[in-house]
Amino acid sequence: MPLLCITGKQIKLMCRNRAALLALIAAPLLLAYLFSYSAAEPRASLYTAGLDGSSLSKILLAHLEQDKTVKVVPAAEKLIRSRIADGELAAGLVIDPGYGGLAARGNTGQPAAAKPPLRLLVGQADSSIAVLEAAITKAEAAVAAGTLPAASASGHTSDAAEKTAAGKLALPRLNGFMAMFLWAAAFLAFRSLIDERENRTAERLLASPLPYWQHMLSKIGAGLGFGLLMIGLVWGGGRGLLHIGIGGGAAAELPLWAAYWWALSGISLVLALLARSHRSFTVFGSIATALAGILGGAFFSIEKASAPGWIYGLSRLVPGTWLTRSLQALNGGSSSLQSQWPTLLLLAGLGTLCMFAALLVASRNMRLGFRAQERSLS
């Protein structure tokens, strides 16, 4: 019972730094949004003012909306001209009144008095203008041929479908950045060991009735709880804000994340016991977090064919690389959790080895502390 109370107090202590906690949650979400949504294949925005309102003009817009190269944005002609004048738009489309009547005459084989009135307002020369012109020409040809838009789209792509598709693109990025920032969370979780040593609280803990191993166990338990809390909060934020679902399901991914956090906890615990000062531990934690993101593939993928051999070799040593590759296989549907047991064993084994090393370092620190006290008394 005392062990559970101490573990709970340790978790409260870790969550007391609200600014750091918020940053650790917001950073993976923000970076996943910026890298995935911005790096996705862009579609040229086609601002369109529909002044005709006929059924054929709506069919024309439906064909444009189904075109994968453009994104139709309804707007007033005045707004289009204003943005073109300000240099914010390269071009805009205006469907003048009378388009439906002239286009209908062309569909029935009757000679049209003039080409159906479509005006492409063009500003400064831009490479996207050719893309917009090609999409408009293609849509006009479809209307002239009497082709109806696909029934699945019926003119408007739902916002929910677009958000779901974007969420699938952002999932690998979110996993990579979460694996990166969990390094910072692990260092934050075990930073209190250095605080206790610098504030000379560790000496009072050694003299307390609670065995020191129970104190260390409370640190480890609180760190594990803190890490799972971080994973849950980032998952929840990705689901609620960016519509990013858990790719393989929580039952498949959570064991991998738990094993990964166990490995990071062991590494950061050893470093916290070996660190000489709070400043050196913080600096090393920042460097480790940055290197974990770069070598772990959070920002860009490190491939054997293109990367230098020594960089590729270093990237294979980063635990985040093992995790993200297994998650990618799960999310892609090419494997199951049972097939990822080598990664689970590797992460769990690394964490266990580091935890055992941490116990050895902690016992050494205790012996050195007792010897220092004996020398001071003598």
pLDDT value of residue 354: 92
Give pLDDT tens digits for 218-259: 888 888 888 888 888 888 888 877 777 776 677 778 889 999
Mean pLDDT to the nearest integer, 166-178: 76
Q: Are 174 and 32 in contact (CB under 8 A)?
A: yes
CB 206 within 8 A of CB 270: no
What pLDDT, on a 0 to 100 scale, did the predictor assign at position 157?
A: 47
Residue 112, pLDDT score: 47
Q: What's the whole-model pTM score?
A: 0.64
Burial tier of 99 (Cβ tally within 10 Å: 0-12, 13-18, 19+): buried
SS (H, E, C) 111-147: CCCCCCCEEEEECCCCHHHHHHHHHHHHHHHHHHCCC
Segment 201-206 shows an average pLDDT of 65
Distance CA 83, CA 71 (A): 17
9-18, 46-55, 132-141, 168-177: the lowest-pLDDT one: 9-18
pLDDT one-digit tens code per residue, 269-294: 898 888 888 788 888 888 888 888 88
Of 5, 7, 4, 2, nearest to 220 by C-alpha is 7
What pLDDT is recorded for position 160? Answer: 52
Residue 353 is predicted with a pLDDT of 95
Please give the pLDDT value at position 239: 80
Domain ranges across the chain:
2-38+161-377, 43-157
Q: Residue 352 pLDDT more than 90?
A: yes
Each residue of 110-119: pLDDT tens digit? 544 455 678 8
More confident residue, 182 or 171: 182
Query: What value does the mean pLDDT take over residues 296-324?
Result: 78
Options 3.30.1360.180, 3.30.460.30, 3.40.1410.10, 3.40.1710.10; CATH for 43-157 is 3.40.1710.10
